[in-house]
Amino acid sequence: MKTAAPSVTQPRAIRVHDDDNVAVVVNQGGLAAGARLDLGVTLREDVPEAHKVALADLAAGDRIVRYGTVIGYARRSIAHGSWVHEGLIDPPQPPALADCPLATAPPAPLPRLEGFTFDGFRNADGSVGTKNILAIATTVQCTAPTVKHAVERIKAELLPRYPNVDDVVAIAHHYGCGVAIDAPGAAVPIRTLRNLSLNPNFGGELLLVSLGCEKLQPERMLGGGALKVLAGETSVAVLQDAEQGFGEMVAHIMALAEPKLQRLNQRHRVPCPASDLVVGLQCGGSDAFSGVTANPAVGFAADLLVRAGATVMFSEVTEVRDAAHLLTARAATAEVAQAFIREMAWYDEYLRLGGADRAANPTPGNKRGGLANVVEKAMGSIAKAGSTALMGVAGPGERVTQKGLVFAATPASDFICGTLQLAASMNMHIFTTGRGTPYGLAVVPVIKVATNSGLARRWPDLIDVDAGRIATSEATVEDIGWEIFRLILEVAGGRKKTWADHWGLHNEFVLFNPGPVT
């Protein structure tokens, strides 16, 4: 979609904050020893692209500062101009949750933005769809291949008659039986499946396919509350009720689908205010540029969305854990801060029981991309959340109802986070990536933002926005932030397609199941 920027020729490194004693090399391919940076430092050794260079002489044990925050301590003395790689940095302790400040510095509201709209599908419950999809949900994995078979037949034989319906999607998953269904952890996947079925892009219609003997029975999955929220008709097909084999099962699902397709087909896009957007933010395949280009630009767009009255969700517990003290201070109320701390504490315990800690988060790709540890990753990650007050917190799989900036607790795993954000009622998804991934979701459009122009150049048919132009000084954070905001409105209104939707790249639904499997 975008013309890639030319590569930088002058040696260049970015310092984010005046207190920083490291900067990140911007030049594609890195810089050789002897290169003189515009920050007044000459490199003593080769430094790869997106990796850090010391701007001052550091003694062993000295603080290493990026984003104005200590991202670690020097393992040994480091001379200015040296490559500050992962092996030279001892990570700091995570902030103690008990010491986190509660709503001590909530930012004042920014001026309201009026007049921005998109054409969406208005639902009976007031929510708005950005796509018009028939969802066929499942209680259990046993039904998934049958439902997928039925979906192929519906798409081939029925869908052509209903041109206002965008897609038919099977909500297939690995849960529903062979699990400890009454264990405390089971509440998470069960409510995820329930709330996923209520996603605004399904228009209040739901077709649910059950096997019959599974632990997760339809009533348990949907619950009375969910059935009340759905304005349309909920139909349940039970495969074990079939008397005449597979053909009857598929014919039954298709017969239940047809009246739903008819009703969905009568819906049309109508002008809706930007406040009807529920935008989920995520990053995947991060690099050291994430926190200086794509994430601050997305953060600027997040502020615009909040100013326009929309809901903006950020997630990924292990990537915000090291910035917990900054986010609790930004909470609108002490109750919101405490809810945030509760989610962090739950996840600390979940990791402890699994014999892991947050240090398990950065991937080999993150590290090759210049991210030394989870603290550096977290500081870059929370830039996505912009600068407004934290208005609400949701647990994994819970529905988000507040407007403004909301934290929806999820693992950082791309497809699990995406699935949980869909359950939280997301209708648009923004995904920043440095290393690159073709990630996409069937239910909502996914706008992919590259942190560096090299990726945007290599993958022009997968990346929707090139935020690397910030590193090369061809665009500002504000420029790209406005570009993302306007693109969200265009895509949400069906006037433009993301690359993931162009190619039909749709990752699977992956549930977060912290409970035992039997």
264 vs 53, 83, 232, CA distance in Å? 56, 58, 10
Whole-angstrom distance, CA of residue 417 vs CA of residue 511: 9
Cβ closest to Ca ion, residue 140 vs residue 408: 408
412 binds Ca ion (CB under 5 A): yes
Residue with tokens 């699902």: 253
Q: Which stretch binds Ca ion (CB under 5 A): 69-77, 162-170, 304-312, 409-417?
A: 409-417
Cβ closest to Ca ion, residue 176 vs residue 284: 284
- Minimal distance, residue 431 CB to Ca ion, in Å: 8
- Minimal distance, residue 413 CB to Ca ion, in Å: 6
- Minimal distance, residue 224 CB to Ca ion, in Å: 34
Cβ closest to Ca ion, residue 414 vs residue 501: 414
Cβ closest to Ca ion, residue 123 vs residue 452: 452
- Minimal distance, residue 285 CB to Ca ion, in Å: 8
Q: Where are the beta strands (DSSP E) in 108-183?
A: 117-122, 128-129, 133-138, 167-171
Q: Is residue 221 within 8 Å of 208, Cβ to Cβ? A: yes
Token output for 490: 């265009």
Q: Which stretch binds Ca ion (CB under 5 A): 19-27, 135-143, 269-277, 282-290?
A: 282-290
414 binds Ca ion (CB under 5 A): yes
Which helix H or strand E contains 278, and what residues bound it?
strand 278-283
- Minimal distance, residue 350 CB to Ca ion, in Å: 17
100 binds Ca ion (CB under 5 A): no
Cβ closest to Ca ion, residue 412 vs residue 441: 412
Q: Where are the beta strands (DSSP E) in 332-418?
A: 390-394, 404-408
396 binds Ca ion (CB under 5 A): no
Cβ closest to Ca ion, residue 276 vs residue 414: 414
Cβ closest to Ca ion, residue 11 vs residue 418: 418
**At 475, which amino acid appears?**
A
Non-local (6+) Cβ contacts of 291 within 8 A are 16, 67, 376, 379, 380, 381, 383
Size of the site for Ca ion (CB under 5 A): 3
* Neighbouring C-alpha atoms within 13 Å toward the C-beta of 92: 19
Adjacency order of strands within the sheet including 270-273: 128-129, 117-122, 270-273
Whole-angstrom distance, CA of residue 433 vs CA of residue 365: 11
Q: Which stretch binds Ca ion (CB under 5 A): 107-115, 226-234, 388-396, 410-418?
A: 410-418
Handedness of CA 106, 280, 436, 9 (dihedral sign): negative
Backbone angles phi, psi at 117, to 5 degrees: -135, 165
- Minimal distance, residue 440 CB to Ca ion, in Å: 14
Cβ closest to Ca ion, residue 377 vs residue 469: 377
Cβ closest to Ca ion, residue 64 vs residue 463: 463
Q: Which stretch binds Ca ion (CB under 5 A): 25-33, 115-123, 280-288, 399-407?
A: 280-288
Q: Which stretch binds Ca ion (CB under 5 A): 39-47, 225-233, 295-303, 411-419?
A: 411-419
Q: Can you tell me which of 11, 284, 369, 454 binds Ca ion, judged by CB under 5 A?
A: 284
- Minimal distance, residue 284 CB to Ca ion, in Å: 4
Residue with tokens 């008709």: 233
- Minimal distance, residue 216 CB to Ca ion, in Å: 27
Backbone angles phi, psi at 428, to 5 degrees: -145, 145
Contact set with Ca ion (CB under 5 A): 284, 412, 414
